[in-house]
Structure formats: structure tokens, C-alpha cells
Structure 1
């Protein structure tokens, strides 16, 4: 992984549009060429972050999804933003489309149209052993062709066999908690769960 120059980093921050941030600073920026810059702030000791950079893990998880036949953003480059602090980043080509969360907020009445396909998508992830701990409707993208993709997949693991009941239960518990935090309790989660149960 190369170390970006201070000037390059400053140019990205000055010219990019901040899409997501927290108390530590910008996390995702839309760059002028249409690609996205994702910044990974370390949650661990800096020497561990240098050994196992988040940007590298993110890129590997996206490759895992793609190899399993799912839609995921395409990584263009991973790099160090500040190696001494374990601060890594990547530039990727975002998926076209809209998150299920944004789709639901824009027109709640239309969400039931895509629930069967959404349930089948989640079931296919689980059947292929994909455990995405942070699975929620903000991380699932509805693509223009009606299929789905995943974003923000740092917390993803590929199991050798389909997910067991406990992990499936955890996945949906996280989704339920996300809906509660976002005050989206009117999302038809129970309908989604019923469709998931009957999905092939």
C-alpha cells in the first residue's frame, strides 16, 4: 500500500463532497471524477492497524462478495493516509442505485413491491455463508435493474457452510435495532421475515 501525499489528501478533502462523517472527521466523500473516497479511522492500537489495515480488509470483503456472485463496489486503490496512526483509505466506484432505507423514506407505500426479492437476496447471502454483521436497509442497495448489492462491508465474514440459526437471528436483530435507532419502526420487517422463511 502506498502512502498518499499530504497534498493529494488535502485536494480530496477540499474538492470532495462529504457524504458521511462522525466526530473524528469525514468518512466517505464523493470525488469530482465520480468515485468515492472512504477513510478508515482505527478503532484499535495503531500498530495493529498497521499490520491489518481496514482498507485492505474492506477490499478483500468486496472481492469475497463479488466472487460469491453478489454486486459490490469496485475498489480502484487502497492506500495509507497516515501510516503512523494506522489511518488507511480506499477509492472505489460506487454501486448505482439507492439504498433500501432511502427508497422506503421516499415512498413507504412502494416498499412491499420489492420485499419478496429482498427476502430472497438476504436468504441467498445466508445460504452462501455470508455473515454481514452490520446488515441493515442502509447498507443494501436497490440497483436500477431491480437486483441488490451491498456496501460498507467491513464487518463481513464468509463461512464454509450456510449460516446457522443463531447468526441468522443476530442478523435480523441488528436490522431490527437499526430500524429502531432510525425511527423506522413502520418498515414491514415482520412481512420480510415471513418472506425470508419461505424463500428458496
Structure 2
């Protein structure tokens, strides 16, 4: 990703998919489509300005976009643990909202969720996100949380309030049923 002088970002996608499929539906376009669909569901995302080819033969595409204003939750966790802990119920409700909307976000982790200036949350780096036709079932919810747990393990985050997040998720689920 490259920050341009005007503050916009150029995100370059080097597809790992079959080159023919990647040329027919480039990753940059898939990223932009997901951003549009998420915004339609009321989820904050970066504002896509343009999609373009860097190298069509090698299926390298790019998106030009305005970044989403906000602070990544991993930074909030590191720098302001008390505030992070106070926002844990809100984060759990946000994750529940995603799950209820049928959003399966494999890259669900603290670096890809931003706390926006309006006090809400938003998503970045969502190319691998999947939209399901209905709310996620228990198996996919569990798998989604396992992705987050593995992220925390890879980052060697030993003091994450895991049981508190799960309890807040369960409380939010019961409260909204």
C-alpha cells in the first residue's frame, strides 16, 4: 500500500488466484465491490475512488481510495488498554452485527477493525470477506473467533480479555434475540 501526497491510498493486489480468473475479475474490483456492499449494510469502509490495472498479464490490480478515519483496535489495545476494555461490549456487539448480517470475515482481527471518530467501528482489508445468505451459524461463528484467536497467538498477545469478549458476545446475542 502506498500513501499518495493527497492522502489517498493505492492498494496493490497481486492475485494468488488462477491468472485467468484474476484477469476476468481482478482483486481490486472484488475489493471495491465488497466495500460498496458493506457500505450498503451500514458498515464503515474506505471510500473507493478508482480501480486500475498495474500489470494485466500478471493479474496485478490496484484500488485508489480515501482511507477510513479511525484508530486500529490493535493500537487502542496497546496504547490505551482501559479504553479498549471499556469498549469490549461494543466490539462484541459489532462482531455480532457482522455475523447477523451474514458477514464471514476471515481476517477479523484487531488490525482490521477501526474505531471511527463517531465512536462506531469500521473494516479495512476485507478482500477475503464472504457474504452469506443468512446469519452465520454456530460453526462459522466459532471458526471466525478461531481466526481472531490465532491472530492473537501469532502476535503473542497473552493478556487479551478473551473470556470477556466471548461473554460480551453471548450477552449481546441474548439481548438482541
Q: Could you say whether these structures have the same fold, taking a TM-score greater than 0.5 normalized by the shorter chain as the test?
A: yes
Cα shift at 1:110: 2.4
Q: Structure 1: where are the runs of 5+ without partners? A: 1-27
Unaligned runs of 5+ in 2: none
**Number of the residue aligned with 2:82:** 109
Summarize deviations over 1:87-124 as a string: whole Å, max 9, x none. 00001111111100011111223211110110110001
User: 1:118 and 1:155 mapped to 2: Cα distance?
Assistant: 20
| CA positional deviation for 1:158 | 1.4
Would you say 1:97 and 2:70 are equivalent positions? yes
| Matched length | 173
Partner secondary structure for residue 110 of structure 2: coil
Deviation at 1:58, TM superposition (A): 0.4
TM-score, L = length of structure 2 = 0.94
Q: Distance in 2 between matches of 1:100 and 1:185?
A: 16
TM-score, normalised by the number of residues in structure 1 = 0.84
Q: Contact (CA 8 Å) 1:40, 1:87: kept in 2 or not?
A: yes
What is the SS of the residue equivalent to 1:173? helix
Partner of residue 36, structure 2: 63
| Distance across 2 between alignment mates of 1:185 and 1:93 | 34
Indicate yes or no: 2:146 matched with 1:173. yes
Q: Give the SS at the match of 1:40.
A: strand
Maintained 8 Å contact 1:73/1:151: yes
Kindly report structure 1 stretches of 4+ aligned residues shifted beyond 3 Å. Answer: none
* Match in the other structure for 1:154: 127
Q: Is the 8 A contact 1:64 1:158 kept in 2?
A: no
Which of 63, 86, 99 is 2:59 aligned to? 86
Matched, 1:29 2:29: no
